[in-house]
Amino acid sequence: MNEPAARRTALYDDHRKHGARMVEFGGFDMPVQYAGILKEHDAVRRRAGLFDLSHMGQFRIEGPQVAAWADALTTNAVATMKPMQARYNIFCNERGGAHDDTIFYRLPEDRWLLVVNASNASKMWSLLHERPASGVRLKNRHGEDALIAMQGPASVAMLQPHVDVDLASMKYYFCVEEEVEGAPALIARTGYTGEDGFEIFVDGAFASNIWNALLKAHAHEGLEPCGLGARDVLRLEAGMPLYGHELTEEITPVQGGQSWAVKLTKPAFTGREALAAQLERDDDPRIVGLTMAGRAPAREGYAVFAGERRVGEIRSGSFAPSVGGGTNIATALVEREAATVGTALAVEIRGTRHDASVVALPFYKRS
């Protein structure tokens, strides 16, 4: 049976015009890189980079009961969110494993935006409909609305000429409804790179005009179009989980390092008992950061050893230009006894074991 063709975002033609190398990701043809991962990574850390994230699932939710309904499905509090606030949240199964990690945006007049991972969009849409609530209305905008992210220390200066709102005064994880290049949009001070920046949610019909206007106006200042390759390195350096790696249906937010987003004091929610038990036991395998002693890169699935005993496996790995002048880093799911910072471990790469050390996450934090 033939696999279904990958979908295209509203910016597909623009990516091709800019010479992007395209790959299938989350059911969409997406740019993995343009000029190169290291150059794009450098732009985000030093100036700014522009990302197409339109493959992410966007669900519009309306109704006076949304907050109470969502609180019963998620680990983090929803009802306490302020108007125009964004909040990271996780949907879990009864065992505490993560269905998905998401971001809620609370808008005026009982309107909400829920952004989910592209690979989980269908699963999450079905899950939301399995728990219907009176007065809660759902609209699926996956693939119809676009998402453009500008990330990096120069983001405020570069985006400001294109909007009327004072971007410098916006708080982190808050948003505003504002026009960008004449198009109605939601601008949020959120991102997935460890740098300051903004995410612009807009109807796909306006995406190309915004994308090209930003690049035309600021390419001479060092704004670079960036692909998913650079984004993965940036998020790993910043210690941010990627669903399917540091969080899965089997890896819980307690194990993944997101206990701060598990609010046991709020009303009952799916997975609460399992997560509470994990927190009390404090003996389950967990995600840790590793730095490699040599030049060998750690990759997903490689075995991790403490002495002669296998204690876990690599979940993500990459060269990290922002860490120690450039070194190989990884996350690993390891047994509790092997998770203490400073523990000496080894990663088996093609039959040879290479020294590694457990380090605190995140690997990189902007000054």
For residue 4, the model assigns a pLDDT of 67
CATH number of 7-55+143-237: 3.30.1360.120
Question: What is the location of CATH 3.30.1360.120 in the chain?
Answer: 7-55+143-237
**φ, ψ dihedrals at 155, nearest 5°:** -60, -45
CATH number of 285-367: 2.40.30.110
User: Taking the CA atoms of the chain, what radius of gyration do you get in angstroms?
Assistant: 21
Low-confidence residues of the chain, pLDDT below 50? Answer: none
In angstroms, the CA 294 to CA 292 distance is: 6
pTM: predicted TM-score of the whole model, two decimal places: 0.97
Vertex 155, ends 84 and 241: CA angle to 5°? 70
For residue 5, the model assigns a pLDDT of 83
For residue 2, the model assigns a pLDDT of 62
In angstroms, the CA 338 to CA 307 distance is: 11
For the stretch 47-74, pLDDT in tens is 999 999 999 999 999 999 999 999 999 9
For residue 236, the model assigns a pLDDT of 98
Question: What is the location of CATH 2.40.30.110 in the chain?
Answer: 285-367
**φ, ψ dihedrals at 159, nearest 5°:** -80, -25
Q: How far is CA 273 from CA 68, 282, 284, in A?
A: 19, 14, 15
CB of 121 within 8 A of CB of 142? yes
Q: How many CA atoms lie within 13 A of 220 on its CB side?
A: 3
Q: How far is CA 274 from the centre of its chain?
A: 24
For residue 1, the model assigns a pLDDT of 53
CB of 106 within 8 A of CB of 83? yes
**φ, ψ dihedrals at 271, nearest 5°:** 90, 0
